[in-house]
Chains A and B, each alone.
Chain A
Amino acid sequence: MSAHPRTWEDVARIHGRRIYTFAYRLTGNPDDAADLTQEVLLRVRRGLDSFTPGSFEAWLWRITHNAFVDEHRRRRRRPTVPLPDEPDRLSAASTPAPDEVLASFRLGADIQKALLALPADFREAVVMCDVVGLSYEEIAEATGVPIGTVRSRIHRGRRQLREWLA
């Protein structure tokens, strides 16, 4: 059993970067990522008091998954507009050389586009595994599917990404 944060501010402080990066990789733009992150933190705030001892990570990522699914359903009901090509906002902590930054923007933008082209459940499994760093078991718990399904989504998602990026 892991200790869990007592307030939503603690959650934002400790897990905020991972939640926001997850949201950005899944939505592909800063506004939707911020909305999804805020929704997650709101649900955390509402649910924190009733959190029972167990895996805080599993609880947090189940909330995050549910918020993503709700947002995804909502977006499918309204007309979509093309996403702008925006470079990633790099973490202030990293200061690579300018030419490396430009190269990483181009490469990163291609990878981000490919992620967005994946089916949502493949995209979520790949991002939870390779961006958030969850185990297959944690992803299965967060998304409510068998571990075999997680394995299949990750593998098929990666193969598709490779095909598009090659």
Chain B
Amino acid sequence: MTHPADRLSAYLDGELGADEAAGVVAHLGGCEPCRRELADVVEARASVRGLPMLDLPADLGPDSAAVGARRRVRTWVGVAAAAAAIAVAVALGAPETVPVADLLGPHTELAQLGAAGVAP
């Protein structure tokens, strides 16, 4: 008889049809290794489900006065880095077509997202 293998987790999660679930139950009655395997996935599932839910940090949420603060700090770090990069590029005689947006990185747009959240 074929062992249920990953159908054991599907059975545990209520993801099998009635017939398939009945087949798994019948198999479990006569197969100690599969009963142990089911007990293992029951334990693992309980461990992960027992992890706490985490609150969205205030600077990511829509309701806080601090919305975007985290991003703005990062943006100013990015601006400073970009200014330094441009200074180096100019010093090295690089063309003036340095893509500033690339140097600034994605955080500029993210800061705007945060700023938009402050608007009514």
Contacts and interface: CB of A to CB of B under 8 A. Distances in A.
Interface in A17-33: 17-21, 24-25, 30, 33
A49 to B, nearest CB: 14
Interface in A144-161: 151-152, 154-159, 161
B13 A158 contact: no
A162 B41 contact: yes
A112 B113 CA distance: 30
Interface residues of A, number: 54
Contacts of A42: 109-110, 113
Contact of A126 (B6, B43, B48): B48
A45 interface: yes
Contacts of A117: none
B106 to A, nearest CB: 8
Interface stretch (B26-34, B60-68, B92-100): B60-68
Interface string A1-36: 000000011101100111111001100001001100
A112 B47 CA distance: 10
Interface of A: 8-10, 12-13, 16-21, 24-25, 30, 33-34, 37-38, 41-42, 45, 88-94, 104, 107-108, 111-112, 115, 126-127, 129-131, 135-136, 151-152, 154-159, 161-163, 165-166
Interface of B: 5-10, 13, 15, 37, 40-41, 43-45, 47-57, 59-63, 70-71, 109-110, 113, 116-117
Given A12-B62, A136-B13, A166-B43, 9 more contacts: A16-B56, A20-B55, A33-B54, A92-B55, A111-B47, A115-B48, A151-B10, A154-B6, A159-B37
